[in-house]
Amino acid sequence: MNILFATAEAVPFAKTGGLGDVCGSLPRELAKLGHQPTLILPAFRQVFEAGIHIESTGITIEVPIGQKRVQGRILRSQLPNSEVPVYFVEQANYYDRPQLYGEDGEDYRDNCERFTFFSRAVFEAIVALDLEVEVLHCHDWCAGLIPAYLKTLYSERPPFDSIASLYTIHNLAYQGNFWHWDMALTGIDWKYFNWRQMEFYGNLSFMKTGISFADAVSTVSPTYASEIMRPPLSCGLEGALQHRQEDLFGILNGADYAHWNPATDSFLGKNIYDATSYETGKAACKVALQREVGLPVDPDKPLLAAVGRLADQKGFDLIARVMKQWAQQSDAQWVILGTGDPKYHQVLGQLAADHPEKIAVRLEFSNELAHQIEAGADMFLMPSQYEPCGLNQLYSLKYGTVPIVRATGGLADTVVDSTSETLAQGTATGFSFSEYTSLALSETLYRACSLFADKAAWQQLVKTGMQQDWSWNHSAQQYVELYEKTCSRAHQGVLS
């Protein structure tokens, strides 16, 4: 099949979160299965800073934006270590900026115009590049207008009249909601600005538009697909989602083992390991990590880690409260890596200053240190308020770092809680809890540390986790099935 990915992010060109990982990995897997994926995304400044060769196609396009016409250029590259083509829409006034979506905690004021231009540029690029497209796979709010354009302005124009659209929700909380008068920028008839299709509490919603117009809708885990049907995780869109319930599918993201594999990880130096050699390899990585972050070297103390965006959504309010309590009552060590909400910078930084022998905090992002933490820590914490899929728990399983998660979204789908039954059956892979409280997290950590003291039981738990296969291969096959189903629905005129 010929699949065109329309996305704002794709590793290694542009990334702020899991969207970039998905769109940088899934196309490669589809190509391995014999399909023809292509990507198109805005030519952000970050794209050029990635250090990958990009060339001009010599093609200039022009797009109507409200009452004006805006020109752009089409550039070309490909996903590294593949033959998957990648096209970029270059328009310096829109995309040559320090960040992708905004700065200093504020969205760019013209985001509606920026991504309206991108959405219409996709159509111009298909024609100018003579791309064969069977499915337009549109990702998150930035591409939410594209399914609407397919059903309205371009519905009777070849080749668009034969293209199906799949709309994937990566995080429903980021919706692309704009002032209602911005509807005029899109060129779409105002009759579609209604409560069923594009209007959301008086505003124009790109996310709702994608959900309403796509031939099929997907999200990044089966549990998240269920959770977003009702408040609070529906984020106000429960009506639109329930209306499309028969067209909504949940497919788990995969882990990119080409980059996240302790047996081949160059960031680990000579300390690489796999499920058969993890005892010595992981022990060496733990010593290396303790030295790197300035914690006392001690193989017997449990080393707990968290990596990521320091935000309420990721459960750092729980982590901070539990760390403060445990620092006074337990010998456990902690290492935190990430940036985010200034309040967590202050709280976590102070905890590290007060307990330097137990807590190490790095308020930065370091890919190398993230890999070293996955390899050196004993447990990895993800007590998220919500988590559409999550990737770090998949990396942790591969690295023999036992995940401790709140049972939500993809975390619930991928981590089997350690109970007497699952441990006896050999199916346990981590620890999970349901109630979003610091007490629930603390009690779960006590369970984990108690098992950590039982070396034989802990080794079995680690080995079971490391033997899991959460690669993209299975997920890619599910996407192929969904693409075929989406095409069938589009050709039959099925739209709920």
pLDDT of residue 83: 96
Dihedral Cα 114, 115, 118, 122, nearest 10 deg: -170
pLDDT of residue 491: 77
Mean pLDDT score, 387-412: 97
Under 8 Å between Cβ of 320 and 348: yes
Give CA–CA dist 115/102, Å, rounded.
Answer: 13
Residue 495 has pLDDT above 50, yes or no: no
pLDDT per position as a tens digit, 216-237: 999 999 999 999 999 999 999 9
Residues 6+ apart with CB under 8 A from 207: 140, 141, 144, 169, 172, 174, 175, 176, 177, 237
pLDDT of residue 207: 98
Residue 496 has pLDDT above 60, yes or no: no
Give CA–CA dist 203/193, Å, rounded.
Answer: 9
Residues 6+ apart with CB under 8 A from 222: 250, 251, 252, 413
Under 8 Å between Cβ of 379 and 352: no
Of the pLDDT bands very low, low, confident and very high (cuts 50, 70, 90), residue 104 is confident
Mean pLDDT score, 69-89: 97
Under 8 Å between Cβ of 362 and 293: yes
The superfamily in CATH containing domain 266-469 is: Glycogen Phosphorylase B; (3.40.50.2000)
pLDDT per position as a tens digit, 110-133: 999 999 999 999 999 999 999 999
Give CA–CA dist 77/11, Å, rounded.
Answer: 13
Residue 50 has pLDDT above 70, yes or no: yes
Of the pLDDT bands very low, low, confident and very high (cuts 50, 70, 90), residue 494 is very low
Give CA–CA dist 9/21, Å, rounded.
Answer: 8
Mean pLDDT score, 346-373: 96
Fold of 2-254+473-491: Rossmann fold (3.40.50)
Under 8 Å between Cβ of 42 and 88: yes
pLDDT of residue 493: 61
Residue 489 has pLDDT above 90, yes or no: no
Of the pLDDT bands very low, low, confident and very high (cuts 50, 70, 90), residue 278 is very high
pLDDT of residue 260: 95
Residue 161 has pLDDT above 50, yes or no: yes
Residue 251 has pLDDT above 90, yes or no: yes
Alpha-carbon Rg of the chain, whole angstroms? Answer: 23
Q: With pLDDT > 90 as the criterion, what percentage of the chain qualifies?
A: 96
Q: Do domains 2-254+473-491 and 266-469 have the same CATH topology?
A: yes
Residues 6+ apart with CB under 8 A from 239: 195
pLDDT per position as a tens digit, 283-337: 999 999 999 999 999 999 999 999 999 999 999 999 999 999 999 999 999 999 9
Give CA–CA dist 218/236, Å, rounded.
Answer: 18
Q: Sketch the domain layout of the chain as residue ranges.
A: 2-254+473-491, 266-469
Of the pLDDT bands very low, low, confident and very high (cuts 50, 70, 90), residue 17 is confident
pLDDT per position as a tens digit, 19-41: 999 999 999 999 999 999 999 99
What is the residue-averaged pLDDT of the chain?
Answer: 96
Mean pLDDT score, 376-391: 97
pLDDT per position as a tens digit, 419-461: 999 999 999 999 999 999 999 999 999 999 999 999 999 999 9
Q: Is the dihedral of CA 459, 463, 464, 465 positive or negative?
A: positive
